[in-house]
A and B are shown apart, each in its own frame.
Chain A
């Protein structure tokens, strides 16, 4: 099996797709770094105060003001209090949350690319994994070896997992190294809040706690990886079903973009939450953002994704081992 996986990795590398992906990331990261840099600059100009401590103090008093409002829900009040102590923590430990280091950039970058950019990159790699063998005719040589079909497909699947990991790692490393030139490489220990849950209109905060940024980033990258694996599995399934790589890409692209659009407009269509593409934004649950549809949670989304992924996996393997190849 190791030899089979090695074969697949060799083909992946020789096809140069991985390099292209790495190049794409290497081009995009400076772009976003510059954008982020501009935003920070503008924020500073707007505030007028050159000192971030001043701005933070303003925020703290803003929060205090909101806290003093009597019409505040208890849950919300608790959330504000936590944020307040987070802000005070920054101030007292001399951490500037606005002029972030490279780790913060990394975090923001993956949070924003989890639902579209990264799945797209994964798709580019995975789409032709099987379909190119079919359209190139090499599948005939591959399947007339003394190796069972499911083992061949499994080796391809494992190669897919490895390349997904590689892409996610590239994103992590490149975004850190490149943005660090501008923002500096520090900030791994900055405390961040996580553990929010939403129930109805209420924000549940009983599990809210502070984790250091490095742990937060590791957790988010774990989720990103999970999403990429699911998207990879579904693309993989399509790649088995269809001979044409273009068709695989087209379908996946449509699904992903439809997901990005749906997220913004499905709040009243409740059953839409069972689509995989609406559930891609896992990092939002960690950072405590509102869910697109009521009743969604980290556990729910991960379960939905898992069901789609397992179904795709089974369909891919059953079809591949039974199918007649012409």
Chain B
């Protein structure tokens, strides 16, 4: 991973009709990483993404794509960006090829040979000369990615890329995105409200709620964090002492102890405590998925 960020978002805000919709969002994407953007509908994911791609002008804050400011150096910044915002809405009355040609012509630096490359990349050569109106959603999604890749971007932004796809399509898309990041050293920003998706696809994730990023961390870290056991025992100091002999122990809020979740060892730890005269009042594993982590950090906000 190089140290030059592909996408920098700094303190981004947006006010619409006096209402603060985005409240200071900041994050950074590095080349070759898949970054998840996680939040419920209405949290500000799409608004943020639209600001990044230049469809909405931010009230304050800066966005740099490949080091170019989106507001002051729009065309240069856009050269490094490929995106699908929401659904891949292409011209249904044109063929797939004509759609690609249409977008390729808008950037004179794209050679026409690039068209065939992206078609091969997304594996569309069989149907590329059919009209888009005859395509299935999965094919449109692939064509959408093809058009996003035309300009050999550094940053690829995909808003809900697996929306409406069948399970096989979802898996295919996931692998494709990972492959792109790996092989082409692309930074991919994926937004989703499906946590399982993010979990499987992303290296890092930002959790956004009510217009603010609540947490940014690597997926492993978050996963590691969630698989813990929370102990309630008396006396607490004695329990901590005993558990420290076995594993790492953190003190949680309101007098709890948190240890890593380790299924085979857990009964032994428990036995040890009981034998030592510690009353184990409660023993529970911390929420088993990102979804619940999310619920916890956002304070019970629902996700659909």
* CB-CB nearest in chain B for A137: B89
Using known A-B contacts A14-B98, A140-B85, determine if residue A326 contacts B108 with beta carbons closer than 8 Å. no
B interface size (C-beta, 8 A): 33
A11, chain B: closest CB distance, angstroms? 6
Residues of A within 8 A of B84 (CB): 141
Q: Which of these, B76, B86, B105, contacts A146 with CB under 8 Å? A: B76
The verdict on A51 contacting chain B, using a C-beta distance below 8 Å, is no
In the bound complex, do residue A140 and residue B106 qualify as a contact, i.e. CB atoms below 8 Å apart? no
Q: A300-326: which residues lie under 8 A (CB-CB) from chain B?
A: 322, 324-326
Q: Which of these, A3, A137, A148, contacts B108 with CB under 8 Å? A: A3
B117, chain A: closest CB distance, angstroms? 18
The verdict on A144 contacting chain B, using a C-beta distance below 8 Å, is yes
A140 to B85 Cα, complex, angstroms: 7
* CB-CB nearest in chain B for A7: B102
A147 to B77 Cα, complex, angstroms: 10
Residues of B within 8 A of A143 (CB): 54-55
The verdict on A71 contacting chain B, using a C-beta distance below 8 Å, is no
Using known A-B contacts A3-B108, A137-B87, A137-B89, determine if residue A144 contacts B94 with beta carbons closer than 8 Å. no
Q: B253-273: which residues lie under 8 A (CB-CB) from chain A?
A: none
Residues of B within 8 A of A10 (CB): 94, 98, 102
Using known A-B contacts A140-B55, A143-B55, determine if residue A3 contacts B106 with beta carbons closer than 8 Å. yes
A interface size (C-beta, 8 A): 25
The verdict on A136 contacting chain B, using a C-beta distance below 8 Å, is yes
Q: Which of these, A145, A322, A325, contacts B106 with CB under 8 Å? A: A145
In the bound complex, do residue A141 and residue B56 qualify as a contact, i.e. CB atoms below 8 Å apart? no
* CB-CB nearest in chain B for A143: B55
The verdict on A209 contacting chain B, using a C-beta distance below 8 Å, is no
0/1 string, B54-88, CB within 8 A of A gives 1:
11110000000000000000111111010111110
A322 to B89 Cα, complex, angstroms: 22
Residues of B within 8 A of A140 (CB): 53, 55, 85-86, 89
* CB-CB nearest in chain B for A322: B57
Using known A-B contacts A11-B91, A137-B89, A324-B56, determine if residue A144 contacts B83 with beta carbons closer than 8 Å. yes
Q: Which of these, A15, A144, A148, contacts B81 with CB under 8 Å? A: A144
In the bound complex, do residue A145 and residue B85 qualify as a contact, i.e. CB atoms below 8 Å apart? no
Using known A-B contacts A137-B87, A138-B91, determine if residue A144 contacts B54 with beta carbons closer than 8 Å. yes
In the bound complex, do residue A148 and residue B98 qualify as a contact, i.e. CB atoms below 8 Å apart? no
Using known A-B contacts A14-B98, A146-B78, A324-B57, determine if residue A141 contacts B147 with beta carbons closer than 8 Å. yes
Residues of B within 8 A of A144 (CB): 53-55, 78, 81, 83, 85
Residues of B within 8 A of A138 (CB): 89-91
The verdict on A262 contacting chain B, using a C-beta distance below 8 Å, is no
B47, chain A: closest CB distance, angstroms? 8
A16, chain B: closest CB distance, angstroms? 8
A4 to B74 Cα, complex, angstroms: 18
A–B complex contacts, Cβ < 8 Å, 19 sampled: A4-B105, A10-B98, A136-B89, A136-B92, A137-B86, A138-B90, A140-B53, A140-B86, A144-B85, A145-B107, A146-B76, A146-B78, A146-B107, A146-B151, A147-B107, A148-B74, A325-B55, A325-B56, A326-B50
- Enumerate the 3 nearest inter-chain pairs by beta-carbon distance, A residue then B residue, closest first: A137-B89, A146-B78, A324-B56
Q: A3-B106, A136-B89, A146-B74 are in contact. List 9 more A-B contacts (CB 8 A).
A: A10-B94, A11-B93, A140-B55, A141-B89, A146-B76, A322-B57, A324-B56, A325-B50, A325-B56
